[in-house]
Chains A and B, each alone.
Chain A
């Protein structure tokens, strides 16, 4: 008994509590229907499960294809040590998205219909195929880790041989999938608030996914370094910080240009619930981290980098919630707010994600043995100083 109690840490206790709430909500959802478990209605058919679990889930998994492209296509081998955790996050992310989809679909046991009943005119059809195919690609991309853990070296060699085609297919599918989630909303020009509705929605969804992909890699590196008492790959993550500045800048420029093109600037400067949310999203989730990360000092410092990445993640989540929920509230006049059971299921899924990541990281060769951090930072400093000296010559 005593032994059992000692293992019952705060986090484990919390996990059990969240699981219990989530399981109760699951029971209600599947025995009494969506009406009993959610606040969804005929006026507001898509809520938290689509807005957060699906839209954000897929976006937060974008680190996988971003890093795969960086390492295998652009051949920046320095980043290799953090590819595996990124691919793991993406793989788990997609599995959880499918898991969450089972709650949201009215008839989840018919999910296979999308395989045989085609409608190529439907963005949702594209989304369904992207989810299926990319989850398969992610499983294959992650499989060498499992094979290594099991000691099946022959299988590892086979997977290595097909790495490049696999990565290219993965990048293409991700590009399509991330952007198609934005395309979903192209069909509602009369419903979505003009601050967010744009014919460029697919492009914005893709770009912001690239940005948040990098941010998630930084975020999970920090979290796992704390959990597993691991050194952080600061030089690599700092460089990712710089990549983020460029992505966020392109995103900002395109967003401003788009407002001009659509003559929607007035909406930004009219005081309303929507414009306030828009400013919070753009100000704290895009502009602030972009400015912060443009300082070398911030990029090279753990807290600065972590806070900036966290801001980008929060901004990203806000954006997806604004497009799918708050941006639609004004039109629907339904006053939707998620029920506690919707929230309980979402929280349970996030908790499951953290747990699965922790277990995989503990039992599989996901993280490399990192070089001591102080040395690595010194190396960056030295290199940059050398460069500066050479330029002065």
Chain B
């Protein structure tokens, strides 16, 4: 299955909120008009003034931070694109929330056995060959669904055809190694609450650089520590032997005298 993605063209969004409502229905979430992601809202529409509306939703990174940081592997990136969460594995350390560069995972803070909640890219609908609920509901075509490669080509086409209309950037093409949700905008992304200080390489590389040194530290460190002990201890023993020898010699001398 080709990698699926969504393209969100902020210039086309009128802020109707139908995507949010469709999402709530598809995922069985209580109704509401939240403007911040939370355990009951996997996607929200934010009003930034000047008829600019921005959807927030899980970006479904190509090399997701949450997948890499979860100690028990509760997150997986599927071949089709969705990043999924298995609440049966989760121990609740919330490292995924701490580490996500887009601040997407939310928590059911008031449950005694709390869970992480976030957009699941309608993976069950995808399996049936259907698009995501939010893209299906969008009346203006601001959110469209398709193969990632095709959507990137489409975004590039729009940038080429209307260079004055758009900021010349596809958000999500490279951010943190690329995402499965792509954005186009007329307003610079940093002014719309998008993190723009993200490196282009996947964030998991940063911790892997440290983790990959563990075998070396254990092997070299263990050998070095044992060697140190051996040298120091041997020196100590030899010192003791010398002292004893000296003592014996002195005793012999005094015996002769």
List the interface of chain A (C-beta within 8 A of B): 30-36, 40-43, 45-46, 69, 72-75, 104-108, 110-111, 113-114, 117-128, 164, 168, 171-172, 175-176, 179-180, 183-184, 186-191, 199, 202
B79 contact set on A, CB distance < 8 A: none
- B110 contact from A32, A45, A119, Cβ within 8 A: A32
- B91 contact from A46, A75, A106, Cβ within 8 A: A106
Interface size class of B (residues with CB under 8 A): 35 or more
- B68 contact from A69, A121, A180, Cβ within 8 A: A121
> Taking the nearest CB of chain B, how far is it from the CB of A38, in angstroms?
8
Pull 15 A–B residue pairs with CB atoms less than 8 Å apart, ordered by A.
Answer: A42-B97, A42-B107, A106-B90, A106-B93, A106-B115, A113-B89, A114-B72, A117-B74, A121-B207, A123-B210, A127-B71, A176-B214, A183-B211, A187-B69, A188-B98
A60 to B35, CA, bound (A): 42
The 4 closest A-B pairs by CB, nearest first: A106-B92, A35-B109, A124-B71, A45-B97
**A187/B99 contact (C-beta < 8 A), A42-B106, A119-B72, A122-B70 known:** yes
Docked complex: B171-213 residues within 8 A CB-CB of A: 195, 197-199, 203-204, 206-211
B254 contact set on A, CB distance < 8 A: none
Task: Flag if B91 contacts A164 (CB, 8 Å).
Answer: no
Task: Flag if A117 contacts B99 (CB, 8 Å).
Answer: no
> Taking the nearest CB of chain A, how far is it from the CB of B114, in angstroms?
4
A110 to B88, CA, bound (A): 9
In the complex, what residue of chain B is closest to A324 when comparing beta carbons? B98
> Taking the nearest CB of chain B, how far is it from the CB of A214, in angstroms?
19
**A183/B98 contact (C-beta < 8 A), A121-B68, A164-B229, A190-B195 known:** no
**A175/B217 contact (C-beta < 8 A), A183-B210, A187-B65 known:** yes
**A117/B89 contact (C-beta < 8 A), A126-B211, A176-B217 known:** yes
**A73/B207 contact (C-beta < 8 A), A35-B109, A42-B103, A123-B69 known:** no
Task: Flag if A187 contacts B206 (CB, 8 Å).
Answer: yes
Task: Flag if B69 contacts A106 (CB, 8 Å).
Answer: no
**A46/B94 contact (C-beta < 8 A), A33-B112, A117-B73, A187-B65 known:** yes
B222 contact set on A, CB distance < 8 A: 168, 172
In the complex, what residue of chain B is closest to A122 when comparing beta carbons? B71
Task: Flag if A187 contacts B110 (CB, 8 Å).
Answer: no
Task: Flag if A114 contacts B232 (CB, 8 Å).
Answer: no
**A107/B113 contact (C-beta < 8 A), A123-B210, A123-B211 known:** yes
A190 to B91, CA, bound (A): 26
List the interface of chain B (C-beta within 8 A of A): 36-38, 65, 67-74, 89-95, 97-99, 101, 103, 105-107, 109-115, 195, 197-199, 203-204, 206-211, 214, 217-218, 221-222, 225-226, 228-229, 232-233, 236
List the count of A-B residue pairs having beta carbons below 8 Å apart. Answer: 167
A113 contact set on B, CB distance < 8 A: 72, 89, 91
In the complex, what residue of chain A is closest to B86 when comparing beta carbons? A117
Task: Flag if A46 contacts B114 (CB, 8 Å).
Answer: no
Task: Flag if A107 contacts B114 (CB, 8 Å).
Answer: yes
A183 to B71, CA, bound (A): 14
B226 contact set on A, CB distance < 8 A: 164, 168
Task: Flag if B210 contacts A186 (CB, 8 Å).
Answer: yes
Most chain A CB within a 10 A radius of its CB, from B101, B207, B222: B207
A336 to B70, CA, bound (A): 24
In the complex, what residue of chain B is closest to A116 when comparing beta carbons? B72
Task: Flag if B198 contacts A75 (CB, 8 Å).
Answer: no
A176 to B220, CA, bound (A): 13
> Taking the nearest CB of chain A, how far is it from the CB of B20, in angstroms?
17
In the complex, what residue of chain B is closest to A77 when comparing beta carbons? B236
A117 contact set on B, CB distance < 8 A: 72-74, 89
**A106/B208 contact (C-beta < 8 A), A33-B112, A73-B232 known:** no
In the complex, what residue of chain B is closest to A127 when comparing beta carbons? B71
> Taking the nearest CB of chain A, how far is it from the CB of B143, in angstroms?
23
- B95 contact from A75, A122, A179, A180, Cβ within 8 A: A122
A121 contact set on B, CB distance < 8 A: 67-69, 204, 207-208, 211
A187 to B97, CA, bound (A): 12
A125 to B98, CA, bound (A): 15
A45 contact set on B, CB distance < 8 A: 94, 97-98, 107
In the complex, what residue of chain A is closest to B102 when comparing beta carbons? A190
- A75 contact from B106, B208, B232, Cβ within 8 A: B232
A191 contact set on B, CB distance < 8 A: 101
A107 to B229, CA, bound (A): 43
B70 contact set on A, CB distance < 8 A: 119, 122, 124
> Taking the nearest CB of chain A, how far is it from the CB of B65, in angstroms?
6
A106 to B110, CA, bound (A): 10
